[in-house]
Structure 1
Amino acid sequence: MKDVFFTDTLTGYAVGVAGTLIKTTDGGNNWNRIYCGVWDELNSVYFTDAYTGYIAGERGRILKTTDAGQHWDSLITNTTRTLYSIVFVNSNTGYAAGDSGTVIKTTNGGTTWNTLTSGTANRLLSLSFIDENNGMATGNNGTALKTTDGGATWQPLNTGTITVLNAVYMLDNNHVFICGNAGLFLRSVNGGADFTDSTLTTTNNNDIKFINADTGFVAGKNFLRTTDGGQTWTFYNLNKEVLSLSIPASNHNKVYSVGYDGSIFVSDNQGASFSSKLTNLQTYYSYIDDYVDFFFTDANTGYIACNLATDVFKTTDGGTNWYSCHGGGLPDEFIYDIYFFNIDTGYYCGFDTWNQVGIIYKTVNQGNTWINLFDSSPWGGIGLVALRSIFFINSNIGITVGNSGVIYKTIDGGQNWASITSGISNTLNKIFFATDSIGYIAGSGGKILKTTDGGDHWTPLTSGTTSDIPSIYFINKDTGFVGTNNMILKTTDGGNSWVSVLLNFTPTSIHFSGTDYGYATGGNKIIKTTDGGNTWNYMHSETANSIYRIFFTDSLTGYILGSNRTILKTVTGGMVNTNPVFLPNSYVKIYPNPSAGSITIDNNDDATIRLFDMSGKLVLTKQLYSGENQVDISLLNNGMYIAKVISPKNIRTTKIIKN
């Protein structure tokens, strides 16, 4: 964690790397993660009241909340410099400082920010103001600046050192305290006109706070406390390097500190002793916006790609449990497609909106680590457009396609990519290879391209439509399907001719588990064919959410993926019991099963149970409440039943046996 701020003795916020933001409402005993909308490193947090707060971080980011951290808006700062410190002197006037001597100021609560002239090019790491006019800034190379006119002008101060000055604290117009690297401590009693210096430790001091002219604290690899204005210090070893301190204005006995590895310490006696409240906190927050794509490498192992911040989730038990195997991409990076060539090697492609380049990441160890294939490029990407689909023919040869008709090909496993001419400028949505040499691309404007030489050359096919084609799938080199505006098109001659099947939705995903059994999804609809796509039948999807993708690992086991974090699974080829797969925040337990008399249903949400016999007839309905519920099934005939437990959030489907 990089910084901490408490608005009172109970409510506090801490920020850190990869968009980490956590909040406590019980004085630091428990912390909850909050999604703030970015994935940047967050360096500084400051609240002007119980509801209004600000966060500063990488690339000139400043975030603001007006509802105690529930929602955060990104403010326009007119700088891309990393900001390391943000402070406010009242509800309207605030300052932020960072790289290259950057200082910006707002006088309207962050609506607009004006760049001030600091007079230095050194990195500024800390700000401290006692009112609208009087403040100080410190940073690299012993830099200390003072303003007495609200930042209009800044006076350099003689600190007598070139050491990095990590933090400054102005107690009043006279008392100024500064700490820095190599154990440096500076003290002034005349507003910075001159300083006395001392070396407290041999390690870096990261933050400093004083509650009066005598009592103060310095945090670093050691925690230090003085009660005589810094002449003598008491040392405490917290076993973690502390980066920031916070002392609530309402209670100076409380001292909060945060540091590396998510460490958080709380003192109730002005730093005389500390208790550890949280250690080893993961410094990322796996925010799940919408699932956009998934891929299974075998019956148990699958991956879900999210459309924000390059999150990837993985299951190793057939979808029962999912965990984050990749998060920490930037908030401006979006995934469009994920593909695994084998159980170990996978890729995803997308777009970096900040640098306006396509991105491709690769794993060679089953998703445990992912590398950006373009880290060595100036912008960490390729081209100037979004990459929407990726497919690998073998371990070395792969092709990615995207906006503006771009096609890139690699022959060395993604180390290098060559541009291939498509001959069109349409968006290319999906690529699929039926053999090592024969492949197809579907795009906007009804465009379909075909290659017969492994992707080196592409020729256009006549699809008979001008509508967008978001999905494509071939079961062999000649027979394939595309989804377009309220229809499926089928070819049996390699795309030379197409036959249409009219639908009441546009298929966004098509998948076949063999030559005969296939599925298509779009909107909240699912259709299935059992005769190679000659006829299609509608199926019940168990969701009102939009469905983006469908994938079958065998003829019976399949998954659908959709909006609002929807994951549904079937183990019967989509018949009878298409059941949701839940993340661990929801549960339903039904026992005993089998049962002759009654069953207990233990769930964590109010819900309704509906019991169907195997012909699909509804035989029982009962309202359930959070906790344990008794349901009498003694009057039912012996046999198997399908139970659906329906809550506002989820639907759980399972089998119950009455004996």
Structure 2
Amino acid sequence: MLVTASGFARGGWRLTDTGVTERFRGLAAVSDRVAWVAGSGGAVLRTVDGGRSWRRVDPPGAAGLQFRDIEAFDRHHAVVLSIGEGEQSRLYVTGDGGRTWTESFRNDDPRAFYDCVTFLDRRHGLALSDPVDGAFRILATRDGGRSWRVLPTAGMPPALPGEFAFAASGTCLVSAQGRAWFATGGGERARVFRTADGGRTWTVADTPVPSGPSAGVYSLAFRDARTGLAVGGDYVTPDAAPAGAAASRDGGRTWRTARVVPGEYRSGVAWVPGTRGTALAVGPTGTDVTTDGGRTWREVDGGSFDAVDCVPRACWASGEQGRVAIARR
């Protein structure tokens, strides 16, 4: 699948041989040669040769964990998040390509459940927990993930009854140009929260994406401080998502449904760098592309993926049964 300025011109995803069968919902693309994936069974893999070979670099003692997000700065430095109630939610950091890891956070609150992590720059990062005492909880780092602290919730709008975030692709919490956003579902409305001050205060906006016990916005992507995409649906009914994609042109304050949506559940979305309006959305039933900034989408591949991430010369996708693919530009 060749990614060009006008979208996916020809070909298809090129699957790589990871040698494992874990499900990779966490994906971090560094370049067309370097990428990290993280998934079930405590698995973390890294490639430095464009996917021709993968090295397993799990944190020690992590076999019982479910990694759902990984953020990588280069071939050496990465932060990985495991999800779950209480102590199952953890963060690990490496500075030597995964040869050694340091556990930098272990959740000691049984009410908290961390879903996603993002970095505003090399030092400042945020992690998101589902609501505790009626408010989403934010964890913050100022030293590249080596230490974390829970932020006060005074600046967080109240959560709706039943509202939560989806740990489906590591992109329920994202950042761009010093700002951050997170997406929700589960409640009466699917919403997007946004912050411009490092997570101290947040505002929230409704989206037109339908919400429900297993439905809502699963993934966000912001090209800059104003231009965002939201995709989702209901993972229980992956073949039908009639209003499962929306776009924002004002930093997440308002959202509009795509004129032509993927029509199926999508768990990951990413902008293609260097293009005016091209982005990819993936899910268990296929891959879609937009070339007009999220106004219209069309399916270009029927393979199953959970996460997608793009860098200037390539896009990567990951998912079930150890599937990791690359599309070079």
Above 0.5 in TM-score? yes
Aligned pairs (5 A) from 1:12-27: 12-27=35-50
CA change 1:166–1:180 in 2 (3 A) is same
1:157 aligns with 2:205: yes
Contact 2:306–2:317, Cα closer than 8 Å, also in 1: yes
What is the correspondence of 1:382-393 to structure 2 with a 5 Å cutoff? none
| Pairing partner for 1:98 from 126, 129, 147 | 129
Supply the AA of the counterpart residue of 1:192.
Answer: G
The aligned residue for residue 293 of structure 2 is: 229
Residue equivalent to 1:69: 98
Query: Conserved in 2, the CA contact under 8 Å of 1:4 and 1:257?
Result: yes
- In the alignment, what sits opposite 1:206? 267
Choose which of 248, 254, 261 in structure 2 pairs with 1:194. 254
Question: Corresponding residue for 1:376?
Answer: none
Give how far 1:98 is off: 3.0
How many Å apart are 1:200 and its aligned residue? 2.1
8 A Cα contact 1:175 1:213, kept in partner: no
Q: Percent identity?
A: 19
Determine the C-alpha separation between the residues in 1 that align with 2:147 and 2:157.
Answer: 22
User: Number of residues paired by the alignment?
Assistant: 264
Unaligned runs of 5+ in 1: 270-659
Q: Secondary structure of the equivalent of 2:96?
A: coil
Q: Show CA shifts across 1:317-372 (max 9, x none).
A: xxxxxxxxxxxxxxxxxxxxxxxxxxxxxxxxxxxxxxxxxxxxxxxxxxxxxxxx
Q: Is the 8 A contact 1:57 1:82 kept in 2?
A: no
Partner of 1:219: 282
- Displacement of 1:65: 0.2
Q: CA deviation at 1:234?
A: 2.9
Q: Retained in 2: the 8 A contact 1:77–1:112?
A: no
Q: 1:244 offset after TM fit, Å?
A: 0.6
The alpha-carbon deviation at position 9 of structure 1 amounts to 1.6
Amino acid in the other structure paired with 2:196 = T
2:142 matches 1:107: yes
- Give CA deviations for 1:282-317 in whole Å, capped at 9, x if unaligned: xxxxxxxxxxxxxxxxxxxxxxxxxxxxxxxxxxxx
Pairwise mapping of residues 7-156 of structure 1 onto structure 2 (< 5 A)? 7-37=30-60, 38-39=62-63, 40-58=65-83, 59-80=88-109, 81-100=112-131, 101-116=136-151, 117=153, 118-121=156-159, 122-125=163-166, 126-132=172-178, 134-141=179-186, 142-156=190-204
Q: TM-score, normalised by structure 2?
A: 0.75
Map 1:409-448 to 2 at 5 A.
Answer: none
CA displacement at 1:227 relative to structure 2: 1.3
Aligned partner of residue 41 in structure 2, secondary structure: coil
Q: Tell me the SS of whatever aligns to 2:295.
A: coil
Cross-structure match for 1:168? 220
After TM superposition, give the deviation of residue 172 of structure 1 in Å.
Answer: 1.3
Q: Distance in 1 between matches of 2:262 and 2:145?
A: 38
Q: How many Å separate the matches in 2 of 1:235 and 1:109?
A: 37
> Cα 1:216–1:79, aligned 2, differ >3 Å: closer, same or farther?
farther
Residue 56 of structure 1: how far off its partner (Å): 0.6
The one-letter amino acid of 1:169's match is: A
For residue 139 of structure 1, what is the amino acid of its counterpart?
T
Structure label with greater radius of gyration: 1
Distance 1:79 1:148, change over 3 A: farther
Gaps of 5+ in 2: 1-23, 167-171, 234-240
- Give distance in 1, aligned partners of 2:316 and 2:96: 23
User: In 2, distance between residues paired with 1:237 and 1:49?
Assistant: 29
Partner of 1:257: 317
**Mapped contact 1:207–1:219 kept (Cα < 8 A):** yes
CA RMSD of aligned residues (A): 1.9
Structure 1: distance between partners of 2:276 and 2:114: 29
C-alpha separation between the residues in 1 aligned to 2:158 and 2:98?
A: 34
How far is 1:78 from its partner? Answer: 4.5
Higher RCO (CA-CA < 8 Å; seq separation 6+): 2
Q: Which amino acid aligns with 1:14?
A: V
1:102–1:124 contact (8 Å) kept in structure 2: no
Q: What is the one-letter code of the residue matched to 1:124?
A: A
CA contact (8 A) 1:3 1:245 kept: no
Partner secondary structure for residue 321 of structure 2:
helix
Q: Cα distance, 1:87 vs. partner? A: 1.2
| Change in CA separation of 1:72 and 1:140 when aligned onto 2, cut-off 3 Å | same
Counterpart check, 1:185 vs 2:245: yes
**TM-score under structure 1 normalisation?**
0.38
